[in-house]
Amino acid sequence: MEEPNKENEQEENQFSPEIKEVKKSIVPKIHPVGAAFIGLFGGFFLYQVVGGLLVAAVFGFDLENAPVNSVRLMTIAGQILFILVPALLFALVFYEDVTHIIRFNAPNWVEILLFVIGIFVLSPLLQSYVYIQNFFVEQLANKFYFVQDLKELVESFNNLLELEKGYEFLIKADSILEIILVVIVIALTPAICEEVMFRGFIQRSFEFKLKPVWAAFITAIFFGLYHFNIYGTIPLIALGFYFGFAAYISNSIFIPMILHFINNFLAVMIYFIVGEDDLLGTTTPPDFQLASTVMTFFILLILFSGIIVLIKYYSRRKLSASG
């Protein structure tokens, strides 16, 4: 009888004191994993299906000829109404505690600094990965017909969804005011709305039944799939996992919001400077060199690993000081 108790105790020690306190003080109205999937499928249906139909009803399917600022404003409204508001309502209805479920807690400034340094390393790290990935896909496609067929199928799927065209339509700007609006549409609004839904409601729901690392990882997988970018799925999952790690370690939704904003803001700035969004790219740049890109990847990976070690060290010291 003692061994199961020891196993249960060891399993409980996987959770931070904050998560243990939340699990003791909040009684879910439904199974937490079920609540997480309601958030996933509910948010997906509302934003992608209902929101998409509303946009089509107002502007038609030829968005390129629609008033761009009107589409931008409707995109902002859709993210708020169909992602942010449902996440808050789900937290209220299923847990009766929005603050603790979503993690509306003031962030620690040291953790903000460490995680922000991390995102400035992780973004180019993932970009290097995308270049390497695309290089090998192209090489395999040149040698094997079935890979070429699969590559063409993926690109046809992307074209069917008009991901790149739609993104470029929203991101093009001719004035400072338009650039500010683009930053709000592409960087600020998704950072707030998606983080409240994914790292707030969904990840927290999984944390009631799963170890934090698995809760963050599963949430990150759905986050990557949610964006419908096949070539960018692995980098998006990696980003989502980093955001989830930040949410768990800091116990504040505001840090993953900041990280999400910075990542998207960097993508917007790259677009304005270079003229393309690299994360959506399906080919390697003309001046691509495999050896230097691989070297850059591993150097950045080592730097990023060091930052993660620092974050975990600081987190342990913080827990020791508070305990």
The total of other beta-carbon atoms located within 10 Å of residue 2's CB is 6
Q: Name the CA dihedral angle for 214, 217, 223, 224, rounded to a multiple of 10 degrees.
A: -150
Better pLDDT: 4 or 234: 234
What's the pLDDT band for 195 if we cut at 50, 70, 90? very high
Crossing angle of helices 254-274/233-250, nearest 10°?
A: 150
What's the pLDDT band for 201 if we cut at 50, 70, 90? very high
Q: Are 173 and 179 in contact (CB under 8 A)?
A: yes
In this prediction the pTM is: 0.89
Averaged pLDDT for residues 168-197: 90
CA separation for the pair 106, 109 (Å, rounded): 9
CA separation for the pair 278, 37 (Å, rounded): 31
CA separation for the pair 68, 49 (Å, rounded): 21
Out of 3-7, 23-27, 273-277, least confident range: 3-7
Report percent pLDDT > 70 for the chain. 85
Averaged pLDDT for residues 63-79: 84
CA separation for the pair 107, 318 (Å, rounded): 13
**Residue whose C-alpha is closest to residue 108's, from 255, 271, 309:** 255
What's the pLDDT band for 4 if we cut at 50, 70, 90? very low
**DSSP code, position 107:** P
* Domain definitions of the chain by residue range: 11-322
User: Which ranges constitute the DSSP H helices of the chain?
Assistant: 2-12, 17-25, 32-44, 51-59, 68-79, 85-95, 98-102, 109-143, 145-161, 163-171, 176-183, 189-195, 203-207, 212-226, 233-250, 254-274, 290-322
- What pLDDT score was predicted for residue 322? 67
Q: Are 186 and 239 in contact (CB under 8 A)?
A: no
Tens-digit pLDDT profile for residues 204-247: 999 999 999 999 999 999 999 888 777 889 999 999 999 999 99
Out of 23-27, 80-84, 261-265, 309-313, least confident range: 23-27
Better pLDDT: 287 or 100: 100
108 token code pair: 């620690």
Mean pLDDT of the chain: 85
Tens-digit pLDDT profile for residues 259-310: 999 999 998 888 888 765 444 566 777 788 999 999 999 999 999 999 999 9
Report percent pLDDT > 90 for the chain. 54
